[in-house]
Amino acid sequence: MRREFVPTADDVLCERCGYLLNGLPPEGACPECGLPVAESTSASPRQPTAWESGRDRAVGRFQATAIAVFRNPRQFFRTMTAHGDTARSARFGLISLLPAMLFNIKAVLMHCAILHILYGPPATAVWPILLVAVPLAVVAGWAGMYYAVVRLTTFEARYWGMRLPRDVVRRAVHYDAVHASVASLLPWAVTLVYLCFLIANETAAGKWQQTYLYTLSLAVIASAVYLFAMYATAMRSLMYANR
C-alpha cells in the first residue's frame, strides 16, 4: 500500500509491519501486528556487520560477513544497522564484486572463442580489441547498474512512502554484491563446459550449438532473477529499520 508521506529519520516504525509507533510506551506492542515495541527500538537485533566491527583481520571479517550474506540474506539484512559507514561498506562491495567481474569477463571471452571455432575466425584482428573492450565493458556495465539501482530504488521508495534514503540503499547494495559473484558462476560454467566439449570433439559439439545458446540464455536469465530476488530481500528487510 502506498503511504502518503515518507517517515523521517526520527519516526519509530514497527520492524515487522512498518506501523508508526511514535509516542507508544516501550513496554507496549504494535497496534497493527502485536510485535513488542522494544523489538523495534531498544531490543532491536540490529547491529553493525561483522565487516564493520571487531578487531579480527580484514580477511576474517570479510569471510564471516560474506558467508552470512550468502547463507541467509533475510536474516543478515534484518540484523544489520541500516545506517553506517558507507565508505567501509563500499570497500566490501568492491571486493565482493571482483570475482563477479572476472567470471563475467571469462564467460564473454569464452563465448567469443566458441563463436570463433564454430563460425571461423573473424575477418579482421578482433581478438586484441576484444581483450581490452570486454573487461572495460564489464566494469562499466556493473558501475552503470550500481548507479541505476541506487537512483531508481531511492526514487521508487520515495514515491511509495518507504523510508529508504540513498545511503541506506547504497549500504544494502554494497553487501548484496556477494550475490553477484554467486550469480555469475552459472553463465561462466555453461560457456566453460561447451568450450571444452567443442575443443574435445568439434563435430559432435557443433550439433549442440543451438542447445548451448538456449542454455546460456537461460543461465543469464536465472542469474538475473536470483540477483533481483536477493536485492528485493535486502530492501524489504531494511525499509522499516529504525537504526
Complex with Zn ion: residue 32 or 56, whichever CB lies closer? 32
Show the binding pattern over residues 6-45: x = contacts Zn ion (CB under 5 A), - = does not.
--------x-xx-x----------x-xx-x----------
Classify residue 100 as exposed, middle or buried by CB count within 10 Å of its CB (0-12, 13-18, 19+). buried
Whether 192 contacts 110, CB under 8 Å: yes
Q: Which ranges in 18-82 belong to alpha helices (H)?
A: 58-71, 73-79
Complex with Zn ion: residue 15 or 176, whichever CB lies closer? 15
For residue 75 the three cell numbers come to: 536474516
Angle at 105 between CA 99 and CA 106, to 5 degrees: 90
* Min CB(21)–Zn ion separation in Å: 8
* Min CB(33)–Zn ion separation in Å: 3
Residues touching Zn ion, count (CB under 5 A): 8
Complex with Zn ion: residue 30 or 205, whichever CB lies closer? 30
CA distances from residue 225 to 124, 133, 183, 229, 232 in whole angstroms, order as listed: 37, 26, 9, 6, 10
* Min CB(135)–Zn ion separation in Å: 48
Show the binding pattern over residues 106-145: x = contacts Zn ion (CB under 5 A), - = does not.
----------------------------------------
Complex with Zn ion: residue 16 or 166, whichever CB lies closer? 16
What is the DSSP code (8-state) at residue 43? T
* Min CB(15)–Zn ion separation in Å: 8
Helix (H, G, I), strand (E, B) or coil at 23: coil
Complex with Zn ion: residue 92 or 240, whichever CB lies closer? 240
Strand partners, 80: 47
* Min CB(17)–Zn ion separation in Å: 3
The CA dihedral of 84, 66, 157, 148, to the nearest 10 degrees, is 100
Which positions from 34 through 93 interact with Zn ion, judged by CB under 5 A?
A: 35
Complex with Zn ion: residue 16 or 106, whichever CB lies closer? 16
* Min CB(40)–Zn ion separation in Å: 8
Helix or strand holding residue 180 (H, E): helix 166-200
Helix (H, G, I), strand (E, B) or coil at 12: coil
Whether 23 contacts 224, CB under 8 Å: no
Tell me which residues touch Zn ion (CB under 5 A): 14, 16-17, 19, 30, 32-33, 35
